[in-house]
Structure 1
Amino acid sequence: METTRQNIAGLGILFILIGVFCISINDMLIKQLSGDYPLHQIVFARSSIAIIVSLLIVQYEGGLGILRTDTPWQHALRGLLIVIANMTFFVGLAVLPLADVTALFFAAPLFITLLSIPVLGERVGPLRLVAVAVGFAGVVIMQRPWADAESLEVGRIVLLLPVLSALTYALNQILTRKLGVSSKASAMSVYISAMFILVSSGFYLVAGDGRFADGATNGSVIFLLRAWVWPQGSDIWVFFGLGLNATVIGYSLSQAYRLADAATIAPFEYIGLPLAVFWGWVVFGDLPVLEVWIGILLILGAGLFVFLRERRQARILARAPTRGRRG
């Protein structure tokens, strides 16, 4: 039995590694496309391809019947939060270095720890609270509050977009824990892709002709609202690749957290940080400045400490369920 649990945990870790690697590819490709296409077009094309592939997997895993759920509004709310998290992340990605946006997004575990206190009623001890404070200090350093607008090169609001992305992602995770949403990985991929299609279609109906981007000078606004155009040359294959990649991401992340507990899986998500630095350097020629390096180290260290501490506390409580411990 112990060997079986270890094998399942190992499979969960494999899925999270695949998912995180594909996320890094996804972010790099979307940043490449951000200079020529609107975000809602990229999201629509990617999700349309992803939902087709996900439906094929659904058919393989048990048929369309597994799409039935007793909690449709919970899935809808989760999907909306994921859409907001993704779109705020990508809007920031259009004008910020890949490593900067990724590092700021990794404030999500810190938000999860804080939100678990009022929403889930969890007890968080002083050590984890100190770690959360250290992590948010890293976020503040990356925001460079001492710098003037000219030296920042982007607006304060743009710098906050990845933080908003982290917050909405954290709310999604907390909601999942609270409501105990459970479905097959392929079904959850379909739900999420459907929400992306719905939201991006709404953007097209309102702003697909690009009229709201006329005269705009902010790169993030232009990326969000420019007009749809037919993909040029080999870009159509990039769109297709994004769709397949999105399917792998959705399926891999869902499988990872279904097969193993979050305390085992979550620390491996931080592999996304060095991958973001790597792609930013190789593809875009960007390397983090000193403040970003400091922020990365603080956020990375704090997040890993929180995860490892939670894992240790879970083991203690499992051995002595009648004795509440705080850490």
Structure 2
Amino acid sequence: MQSAQAQSNSGVGIAFILVGVVAISVNDMLIKFLSGDYPLHEIVFARSAIGIAFSLVLVQLEGGWRILRADHPALHLLRCIMIVIANMTFFSALAVLPLAEATALFFVSPLIITLLSVPLLGEKVGPLRLGAVLVGFVGVIVMTRPWEAQDGRDISMVIYLLPILAAVTYSINQVLTRMLGVTAKASALTVYIQSTFIVVSLGFWTFAGDGRFAEGLTNQSLIFLLRAWIWPQGSDIWLFLTLGFNSAILGYALAQAYRSADAAVVAPFEYAILPLAIFWGWLIWADLPDAVTLVGIALILGAGLFVFLREYQKKRRVLRGKRVHGRW
């Protein structure tokens, strides 16, 4: 019965991660779309302030205000800090990088999660899956092209490193979600993160909201981070509202996915965002990856799918063994 329950939990986790992936792709597309006119901290504040209202409704549905009491506040704070760093670095990269490239680089995170699940969650990862992780990181090298001279680059290597840093911190966040999700509800985990975003974005507004630190800058990522706040123009207000509602869906779905199933099972499904990112990039900005970038994306995607297939095969063997030994 325990194995049947584990299968059920895996299915729930996969369903929620797919919902979360769609929400992530919409979120990234909207933020890149707005990045030319509004500062990042204003966008983050708006989506979190709107999103937390929806999340508090979910809190009531999952048990009321009492579920917001944290059993491990230090770990929750660390988790929130990791996701703030992940978002800020990734979104800063979006102001410069094509959506598909930034997304592909960021989505080495499931491979990192697979590695972190060993020491932090006690999950077993065999040599073949470790080999797949290595292949995925080769894909990162292909995409970033470190062999090209710095003065011959259209985009600085530092910009390419931003989504990779985001991937590392996001991976730590998701492993912590798996650890804390044993006792914390998904809606509470979402509220903690959105509250942290609100505090951080208000801090940016206090010190940089007038745009004085953006004056004279040429780096588009820094300009996006530090430009002055302005009230949303025209129909942009609807984009901000959509971001907020989408934020609530995104946070809840990801938290529910990683508290429902093993990280090594859920994480590879996040790669479904890659074709979505290519689609949005083509539809809105007419960006299509070149041949070298596609090779890198293929290596990352292939590595993630292999990790998933190995995990699936391993669980199938475990289930068959339990049947044979009468453990059901």
Q: Same fold (TM over 0.5)?
A: yes
Partner amino acid, structure 2, of 1:215 = G
Aligned pair 1:85/2:86, yes or no? yes
Q: Classify the secondary structure of the residue corresponding to 2:146.
A: coil
Give the CA deviation at 1:3: 7.7
Change (3 A) 1:113 1:265: closer
Q: Describe the superposition over 1:62-95 as per-residue Cα deviations: whole angstroms up to 9, x where unpaired.
A: 2111111211221111011011111111000111
Please name the residue that 2:153 is paired with. Answer: 152
- Cα separation, 2, equivalents of 1:6 and 1:313: 13
Question: Do the aligned partners of 1:107 and 1:299 also contact (CA within 8 Å) in 2?
Answer: yes
Question: Do the aligned partners of 1:263 and 1:311 also contact (CA within 8 Å) in 2?
Answer: no
Give the CA deviation at 1:316: 4.1
Please name the residue that 2:95 is paired with. Answer: 94
Question: Do the aligned partners of 2:68 and 2:188 also contact (CA within 8 Å) in 1?
Answer: yes
The farther-off stretch of 113-122 and 95-104 is 113-122
Question: Do the aligned partners of 2:113 and 2:263 also contact (CA within 8 Å) in 1?
Answer: no
Change (3 A) 1:106 1:292: same
- Cα separation, 1, equivalents of 2:174 and 2:8: 25
Partner amino acid, structure 2, of 1:50 = G
Q: Classify the secondary structure of the residue corresponding to 1:35.
A: coil
- Cα separation, 1, equivalents of 2:264 and 2:93: 29
The farther-off stretch of 57-66 and 95-104 is 57-66
Give the CA deviation at 1:52: 1.1
> How many pairs were matched up?
321
Aligned pair 1:207/2:208, yes or no? yes
Give the CA deviation at 1:61: 2.3
Q: Classify the secondary structure of the residue corresponding to 1:300.
A: helix
Give the CA deviation at 1:147: 1.7
Please name the residue that 1:287 is paired with. Answer: 288
Q: Classify the secondary structure of the residue corresponding to 1:304.
A: helix
Please name the residue that 1:46 is paired with. Answer: 47
- Cα separation, 2, equivalents of 1:257 and 1:174: 8
Give the CA deviation at 1:120: 5.2
Change (3 A) 1:207 1:64: same
- Cα separation, 2, equivalents of 1:245 and 1:176: 20
The percent of aligned pairs where both chains have the same amino acid is 62
Give the CA deviation at 1:5: 6.6
Q: Describe the superposition over 1:169-203 as per-residue Cα deviations: whole angstroms up to 9, x where unpaired.
A: 11223334456653111111111100111111111
- Cα separation, 1, equivalents of 2:267 and 2:305: 9
Question: Do the aligned partners of 2:181 and 2:259 also contact (CA within 8 Å) in 1?
Answer: no
- Cα separation, 1, equivalents of 2:315 and 2:4: 20
Question: Do the aligned partners of 2:174 and 2:258 also contact (CA within 8 Å) in 1?
Answer: no
- Cα separation, 1, equivalents of 2:26 and 2:184: 26
The farther-off stretch of 237-246 and 139-148 is 139-148
Q: Describe the superposition over 1:207-237 as per-residue Cα deviations: whole angstroms up to 9, x where unpaired.
A: 1111111100010010011111111111111
Question: Do the aligned partners of 1:263 and 1:308 also contact (CA within 8 Å) in 2?
Answer: no
- Cα separation, 2, equivalents of 1:10 and 1:309: 17
Change (3 A) 1:246 1:178: closer
The farther-off stretch of 99-108 and 142-151 is 142-151
Please name the residue that 1:188 is paired with. Answer: 189
- Cα separation, 1, equivalents of 2:188 and 2:124: 33
Uncovered stretches (5+) of structure 2, i.e. residues with no partner: 323-328
Q: TM-score, normalised by structure 2?
A: 0.90
Partner amino acid, structure 2, of 1:190 = V
Q: CA RMSD in A?
A: 2.3
Q: Which residues of 2 match residues 296-311 of structure 1 at below 5 A?
A: 296-311=297-312
- Cα separation, 2, equivalents of 1:157 and 1:16: 30
Please name the residue that 2:234 is paired with. Answer: 233
Q: Describe the superposition over 1:107-154 as per-residue Cα deviations: whole angstroms up to 9, x where unpaired.
A: 112222333455556654332222121111110111111222344211
Please name the residue that 1:324 is paired with. Answer: none
Uncovered stretches (5+) of structure 1, i.e. residues with no partner: 322-327
Partner amino acid, structure 2, of 1:76 = L
Q: Classify the secondary structure of the residue corresponding to 1:182.
A: coil
Partner amino acid, structure 2, of 1:106 = F
Please name the residue that 2:144 is paired with. Answer: 143
Q: Classify the secondary structure of the residue corresponding to 1:51.
A: helix
Q: Classify the secondary structure of the residue corresponding to 1:175.
A: helix
Question: Do the aligned partners of 1:82 and 1:169 also contact (CA within 8 Å) in 2?
Answer: yes
Partner amino acid, structure 1, of 2:99 = L
- Cα separation, 1, equivalents of 2:319 and 2:5: 19
Give the CA deviation at 1:304: 1.7
- Cα separation, 2, equivalents of 1:135 and 1:232: 41
Change (3 A) 1:126 1:6: closer
Please name the residue that 1:125 is paired with. Answer: 126
- Cα separation, 1, equivalents of 2:70 and 2:125: 33
Please name the residue that 2:66 is paired with. Answer: 65
The farther-off stretch of 103-112 and 212-221 is 103-112
